[in-house]
Amino acid sequence: MTGPVIAPAVAQPDARAALHRLRAEVAKAVVGQDAVVTGLVIALLCRGHVLLEGVPGVAKTLLVRTVATALDLESKRVQFTPDLMPGDVTGSLVFDPHTAAFTFREGPVFTNLLLADEINRTPPKTQSALLEVMEERQVSVEGERRPLPEPFIVAATQNPIEYEGTYPLPEAQLDRFLLKLTVPLPSRDEELGVLRAHHAGFDPRDLRAVGVRPVATAADLAAAREAVRAVHVAEPVLGYIVDLCRATRVAPALELGASPRGATGLLATAKAWSWLAGRDHVTPDDVKAVARPTLRHRLRLRPEVELEGMTVDAVLDAVLATVPTPR
């Protein structure tokens, strides 16, 4: 997935222009991750959650912190470990000896952008607590519901190469993520840029020092969400989205295809992509542009196919090549 190209002749509302300034702002601290930044913006526009996958050291944590700073949003980070308890994430009741009463101490989920670092290193019980928060956007303790701030999304990371001591996310939880974004290794020139920045004294813990500042606000994001909801989708394009998802369910290489939630997710991300590109309607190419990050984590390969080296993205490429595109 690469960023949509904006035609100079297309007028942009203030909210769209503000979100496009985000890339340049993030690039002050993070080199060469435009596609992942676009994915995070799409997730925010769709009120969806993101799973970031990449080897250690590709700036996943820095990326999320920088996006939050550039959007003037609050961000918190949780390092998921095998001994992490649900209350460590959602919050819990704490006895106050001064008042002889229990008071609720908010957990790190009470933020706008939660970075769940190495989510697959925590047991299913804690994963399930986070799943409820992601789905309900609230925390329930002792029968009292406490809504989370708006906006709220989870950006979870997982390491694709270390499986020892991990608890793989079940399909039900994977399906709750709107997007799965692969964070690639930088090119040689990009990696040279990283070294030059560090040689010059760049401190990834001090974003203000490199000039990262808010270029968009929660109000811009709210206005953008309203505009995305108004993007038109013609009936043939709706049918194309359904046909793509149904094709994954009968693909010989897959034992699990995209669910109807996957189809609604693909509709939402295609509308956001189209709006970012300056259009008021979704084209089949918009659907194709976001199909891989929206669907790849919802599909499961047959074991014998996986042993042969087949990948989910390759299956999606085949589906996109065979399902007829509406004219």
What pLDDT, in 10s, does the model give residues 242-291? 999 999 999 999 999 999 999 999 999 999 999 999 999 999 999 999 99
pLDDT band at 230 (very low <50, low <70, confident <90, very high): very high
pLDDT of residue 6: 39
Q: Once rounded to an integer, what is the mean pLDDT over residues 122-134?
A: 85
Residues of the chain within CATH 3.40.50.300 domain(s) are 13-222
Class of domain 13-222: alpha beta
11-17, long-range: CB within 8 Å, 24+ apart, which pairs? 11/278, 12/278, 13/223, 13/227, 14/220, 14/223, 15/216, 15/220, 15/221, 15/223, 15/224, 15/227, 16/224, 16/227, 16/275, 16/276, 16/278
What pLDDT, in 10s, does the model give residues 142-168? 778 899 998 999 999 887 765 566 777
Q: Which fold has domain 231-326?
A: Helicase, Ruva Protein; domain 3 (1.10.8)
Q: Once rounded to an integer, what is the mean pLDDT over residues 222-243?
A: 95
Residues of the chain within CATH 1.10.8.80 domain(s) are 231-326
pTM (2 decimals)?
0.88
